Structure 1
């Protein structure tokens, strides 16, 4: 019997069907694996190390209510929850801080890894464990045990990203300290300003430099050793340093916090509001939770995955929030070489401390990094890979890198504090970063307390790099905590801070030269004065306020804009709209887009006319106010005529917008281009997945409104994206432990397929909040953790 021979067409058909079956099988397997990585529903689980059972109830948004016997058990449960919902976010945090991102992302992440390895964040965090109080170490260990229980149970299914990357490494207690190291680094950026100023000093006169930095001391004199800094070498160094909005970086930070005493509160107890402004990502930095202990203590507010403590929120007797102080706690020192492996000091040559770092790189050979440190700190000029011809290197001193950092112990003490006085004692132990701690207690006391170690300089104010070989500019220790400009119980019954200056000129303690313009602070003060008494609902509305006093100052009666001849065509339409505008930077209005496009173009034109490169300075509020001041006070930046430059900037800005958006100014909307954007730090780089995990919402506000709408920057319509602002808003009324209202910008889950990946975004966009009461109004799954 002869076998029938299959035709080529039938063979191809069978082959195609086989390949299709394999493809379907692979797709089903991948879908099953991703499904298995989703956090499950409720149930009973065992966690070794618990002293008693822990009850966890999730609300409709996945926000947990934890009921535990003590804070150690609560920390273990929180670690398990953080890992359950945000394990990959925690992984990125510890890898970023440890300089291990290239293991995941390949050579593209080497620049950030080299930077963090040079600063030695991981080495310093490990050393700082010994400085923590014993009870704090116990909480850190319990939290790590909770994280590791999730990793042990799920393996590479701990989060969907680990399906490709493998099982995450165990969590160690010191990994939680890395979060504070990252915050200390990115919330204190003066050293970068020093490098930029040194470059500007080579091209600007002292007078022009003061226009950009109003408190700037004279610089760049021929007899000043800072003038010898090579601008080309500084430019090479700037090119290799990570800079926002690159992944793993933060922008110039800003936040709001305010409080009123019971005399100004409808409930009769103090109220506190806090909304920290950081870079946006998906998921957001914050994770909401409520914790109740058997002894009656409670905590409610915002945690951050990787940290076992409440960062912003309240307990039964105290509420608190943070804003950045803008203190100058970093200096760049010019170190003079003494041979190949040593540098000069007042006592003579001293060898560098040398650390060899091996950086693993995905898809490539490992890189060996030789880190040198001086008595002031790490040598950062080695990062550009070139040898300096003047026989010097640049080292950076940072208070947040100093040994003995007890920030974790201080935050733990703050969680336990029952009064503003006890919060003050906790603030003294929060050694990094420099922050304004806004606090209010149930007895009616208010306080604005400064955290972080502030250096005492032997001379100078650290505005530009200074010689390190003679000891003249060395740090002589830390400012005594009690000498810092704390405030308590003002007679007005109100306290507020929006990164405005906290110490008046002439204060005996030097904090810094660079202060964010106080437009948000002024607006908060106006809103607080509008009502004799406030409630939580009013405070949440204040956090969403988009009126800009800064815009009003530049478009209202008596402004330079009001004196310009009315232009023809669309520039004239735009001019008329701005002059009639009330300064509300609302998403559904065209004027905010016209205003921001105009002042941005004007600032760039003025800086370019002064010879300032784009990357060295941004047109900040004080500079724009100078250029647009009546009387032509900014003539030196305007080619002699600021009115003409303002008219030109408006015409060019309108022409650019018309080319991009079409139509006429009256049809444009701020929210069409000013969209809050939240992207996955890793998946954003993968075509096809980037759009699936990207979250967006039209938003109001800009750089100068209480509802901060920080911009991406750059060119084109993407420049208007909202990428920096209040990813968390929280209000607490101390009259009731259930009266805690908060919202985060994305959702509780870090899993893109979870229903809690983005379910809080609509409420965040529209000004809604979630009440963090002991019992959720709409309970969802519950867990019982047993020893």
Structure 2
């Protein structure tokens, strides 16, 4: 008997079951692969090259304590831990610095790759390895061996991102030097300001430039050729340079650090606080760790994946932190061409040094980039491919690009230093970037030491591009370290820095003409003076302070705002809130939002009235204070009357806020829009997935508060997002090595499925700190690394 064919719907049902099974199997396979990429939490592991066993204790937050015989074994263990928890972060760092992001991300990353290849960061790091001390090279090699042990054991399971990208390449010692090159790039951007001022010099009269940049009286002199660059070309060049918030870029940097001597401390020993302000990401730049060696030495604080040394923290006798000095260590030189392949110098024409860089691009053909360098540095203007007709190019001279960079050796020496005097010796070896090293020792000493090479200029103040063909503005060398404005054991027993000017203009060593407003520094001084003695908990509270002296200066009894007639409706409500405000930029208050929106409009309207094209310049705090000064000095930027402009700016800002936050200003809250945002650098670009791995936290503060709440900028509600600030806070009491307090903003792990991906964020949001002591937390996890 013949069987009848199965009905069509039965075949469709079977096909559906098969497809479902395939989908489930795919999801199961992916889930299994993701689970396998999670790191082990216990057991004995073999690391070839170890001198002896290393015990690693991981507390419930994922913070390791490494117990090793010597620093070489500790460095290998730290390299293994960094790779275990942050291998993809390390991969992005080295690829970004080497100009190899397009291999992963395709054409969208080409602009950044062209930029870093032009600067030659990878070439310079490789050359600088030989400049490090033998002891430092040993530690760099041990760290690389630890990283490579993880890569060799895990392959493409080294981190979940490698499941799609393939196993990471082996780590080499010079890759750790790339971190310093990136920091040097992030923390010294004066050359961009020179481009901005040169463009404006062709658009504004000198007096307007001096008001826009009040500290820089020489900017834009019309009688000098250096100010005659074509504004249109400069604008075009600006568009090809990577800018925040693009991947791999940062906003203007800032940080806080302060210390007091033992007589101002409850414990009788110095206290030190440090909270560096960098761009937010997930995971954050910092990785907490404690290291104990057999000879009694210890380290506790913040490391950065990719680097074998403690960056900010303490050892048994010394604590330290960093802020950016904002010294001018970069100049743009206008070079005259002498034919197609040479440029003019005082000694006659010289050929360009030419390097051909091959940039691999995912999904596209490789690109060949021809990099030219002059005696001053790389030719930045070649990034604009449109030919110029004036026979000149722009070359960048930068201290952080100079050869013989021994920053790694200096940081290694700082890790070993036992006093402020020894820290001074280490600071002299940290050649880049230019930083203020805040230090305190258990013997009672405190000090602020400047690191980094500071150029000695034959002429000029470094504010605008300068002629390179005649040698008249060449660098003569570096300022001797001992001539820099270091401060040791001041009579007050207190030291603080918040990126403010560190020396008066008449100091023998010219550090620069460009300084940010000192409002955070003033507030730190107020808080230090408010109590005769301090403790670690009080310092931690200071780091979270959100009172803005800048806001008080623009809303207080003598302010221009007080002279405005009271408006009607919502604008009048907002105005009344500002007039009654105590300056606290708290997340729960409406006034911070009204104030920042008002200032944004004041800056926009004033720049437009003054003839500055949109996007050509920001409105610095000093400029805003000038425009809003009650004496009316800024009238030229206000169409004659800054009271009218201020009132219009308030009306416009309130109208914009009403469209998104409702009619009643008393119901608005700063924290509604001022969310701290931590995004995965790669996954954030994938629809749906980026949102799943994004971390957020309501936060207070703004650009001018000690608790820095740096804004994304731009237009729309996202402009108020908090994307730049203290991703690390650390406080050290030199009375007790076990009392070091620290917190980071995300978690120890870079794996989004790990419980340690975001577990530190609640503590960071609420201001709670973690003690990096010897005692293990509850239910610790233990790993033994064996030779």
TM bracket (short chain): over 0.9
Paired with 2:222 and 2:70, the residues of 1 have a C-alpha distance of 64
Deviations 1:523-565 (A, max 9, x none): 0000001110000000000000000001011111121111111
Q: For residue 282 of structure 1, report the CA deviation from its aligned partner.
A: 0.2
1:122 paired with 2:122, answer: yes
Q: Confirm or deny: 8 A CA contact 1:76 1:146 kept in the other structure.
A: yes
Q: Say what the alpha-carbon RMSD is for the aligned residues.
A: 0.8
1:191 corresponds to? 191
Structure 1 residue 416 and structure 2 residue 416: aligned?
yes
Provide the rounded CA distance (Å) in 1 between the counterparts of 2:227 and 2:518.
32
Q: Does the 8 Å CA contact 1:65/1:775 hold for their aligned counterparts?
A: no
The Cα of 1:217 is off from its aligned counterpart by 3.6
For residues 698 and 350 of structure 1, do their structure 2 counterparts lie closer, same or farther at Cα, with a shift above 3 Å needed? same
Counterpart-to-counterpart distance in 1, 2:227 and 2:95: 38
Cα distance in 2 for partners of 1:515, 1:378 equals 26
Q: Offset of 1:235 from its aligned partner? A: 1.1
Q: CA deviation at 1:218?
A: 3.5
Aligned counterpart, 2:637: 637
> Following the alignment from structure 2 to structure 1, what is the Cα–Cα distance between the partners of residues 758 and 445?
37
Q: Structure 2: 5+ residue runs without aligned partners?
A: none
The runs of 5 or more residues in structure 1 that have no matched partner are none
Residue 61 of structure 1: aligned partner: 61
- Tell me, in whole angstroms, the C-alpha distance in 1 between the residues paired with 2:786 and 2:238: 53
Q: Aligned equivalents of 2:512 and 2:162: distance in 1?
A: 44
Partner of 2:602: 602
Aligned to 1:500: 500
Contact 2:198 2:228 in 1 (8 A): no
User: Do residues 257 (structure 1) and 257 (structure 2) align?
Assistant: yes
Q: Find the aligned partners of 2:713 and 2:613 in 1 and give their Cα distance.
A: 15
Residue 150 of structure 2 is aligned to residue 160 of structure 1: no
Shift in Å, 1:775: 1.9
- Aligned equivalent of 1:82: 82
Cα distance in 2 for residues equivalent to 1:758 and 1:397: 41
Does structure 1 retain, via aligned residues, the 8 Å contact 2:632–2:641? yes
Pairwise CA distance, 1:374: 0.4
Tell me how far apart the structure 2 counterparts of residues 383 and 663 of structure 1 sit (CA, whole Å): 48
Matches within 5 A, 1:8-27: 8-27=8-27
Secondary structure of the 1:365 match is strand
CA distance in 2, matches of 1:129, 1:419: 27
Which residue does the alignment assign to 1:517?
Answer: 517
Deviations 1:641-676 (A, max 9, x none): 011111111111111100111130000000000000
The answer as to whether partners of 1:58 and 1:779 remain within 8 angstroms in 2 is no
Q: Name which of structure 1's ranges 775-784 and 437-446 shifts more when overlaid on structure 2.
A: 775-784
Q: Distance in 1 between matches of 2:343 and 2:2?
A: 90
Inter-partner Cα distance in structure 2 for 1:199 and 1:729: 38
Equivalent residue, structure 2, for 1:201: 201
Q: Separation in 2 of the partners of 1:512 and 1:670?
A: 35
- 2:747 & 2:371 partners in 1: Cα distance? 40
Q: Which moved more, 1:573-582 or 1:609-618?
A: 609-618
Shift of 1:215: 2.4
Deviations 1:691-747 (A, max 9, x none): 101000000000000000000000011000000000000000010010100000000
1:57, 1:779 within 8 Å by CA — same for their partners in 2? no
CA contact (8 A) 2:202 2:228 kept: no
Determine helix, strand or coil for the equivalent of 1:433: coil
Q: Please name the residue that 2:541 is paired with.
A: 541
CA distance in 1, matches of 2:221, 2:139: 54
Pairwise mapping of residues 389-404 of structure 1 onto structure 2 (< 5 A)?
A: 389-404=389-404
Post-superposition shift, 1:28?
Answer: 0.3
Taking the TM superposition and a 5 Å limit, the aligned residue runs for 1:363-442 are 363-442=363-442
Counterpart for residue 611 of structure 2: 611
Contact 2:326 2:434 in 1 (8 A): yes
Alpha-carbon distance between aligned partners in 1 of 2:344 and 2:50, rounded to the nearest angstrom:
55
SS of 1:360 mapped into structure 2: strand
**Between Structure 1 and Structure 2, how many residues are aligned?**
787
Runs of 4+ in 1 over 4 A off after TM superposition: 219-222
3-state DSSP class of the match of 1:313?
strand
SS at 2:631 equivalent? coil
Partner of 2:757 in structure 1?
Answer: 757
Alpha-carbon distance in 1 for matches of 2:622, 2:614: 17
Tell me, in whole angstroms, the C-alpha distance in 1 between the residues paired with 2:292 and 2:220.
59
Quick one: distance in 2 between partners of 1:345 and 1:413?
A: 40
The Cα offsets for residues 3-22 of structure 1, whole Å up to 9 and x where unpaired, read as: 43222222221111111111
Give me the TM-score of the superposition, normalised by structure 1.
Answer: 0.99
> 1:586-735 to 2 correspondence within 5 Å?
586-735=586-735
CA distance in 1, matches of 2:470, 2:527: 51
Kindly state the Cα deviation for residue 219 of structure 1 after the two structures are TM-superposed.
Answer: 4.7
For residues 235-279 of structure 1, the C-alpha deviation after alignment (integer angstroms, 9 at most, x for no partner) is 111000001111101111000000000000000000000000000
Q: Which residue of 1 aligns with 2:443?
A: 443
1:35, 1:154 → 2: CA distance? 13
Shift of 1:221: 4.7
**Cα separation, 1, equivalents of 2:473 and 2:8:** 84
Give SS of 1:572's match. helix
Partner of 2:532: 532
Q: Deviations over 1:291-336 (max 9, x none)?
A: 0000000000000000000000000000000000000000000110
In the TM superposition, what whole-angstrom CA distance separates every residue of 1:577-601 from its partner, at most 9, and x where no partner exists?
A: 1110100000000000011011111
Deviates more, 1:1-10 or 1:118-127: 1-10
**Aligned pairs for 1:236-255 within 5 A:** 236-255=236-255
Tell me by how many angstroms 1:779 deviates: 4.3
Partners of 1:677 and 1:695 within 8 A in 2: yes
2:365 alignment partner, SS class? coil
The corresponding residue for 2:210 is 210
Residue 284 of structure 1 aligns to a residue in which SS? coil
| Contact residue 219 and residue 463 of structure 2 kept, 8 A | no
What is the distance in 2 between the residues matched to 1:107 and 1:4? 57
In the superposition, the TM-score normalised over structure 2's length comes to 0.99
Give 2:463's aligned residue: 463
> CA separation in 2, counterparts of 1:396 and 1:493?
41
Q: Equivalents in 2 of 1:49, 1:16: separation in Å? A: 54
Deviation of 1:633 (Å): 1.3
CA distance in 1, matches of 2:300, 2:94: 25
For residue 615 of structure 1, give the secondary structure of its aligned residue in structure 2: coil
1:559 aligned partner:
559
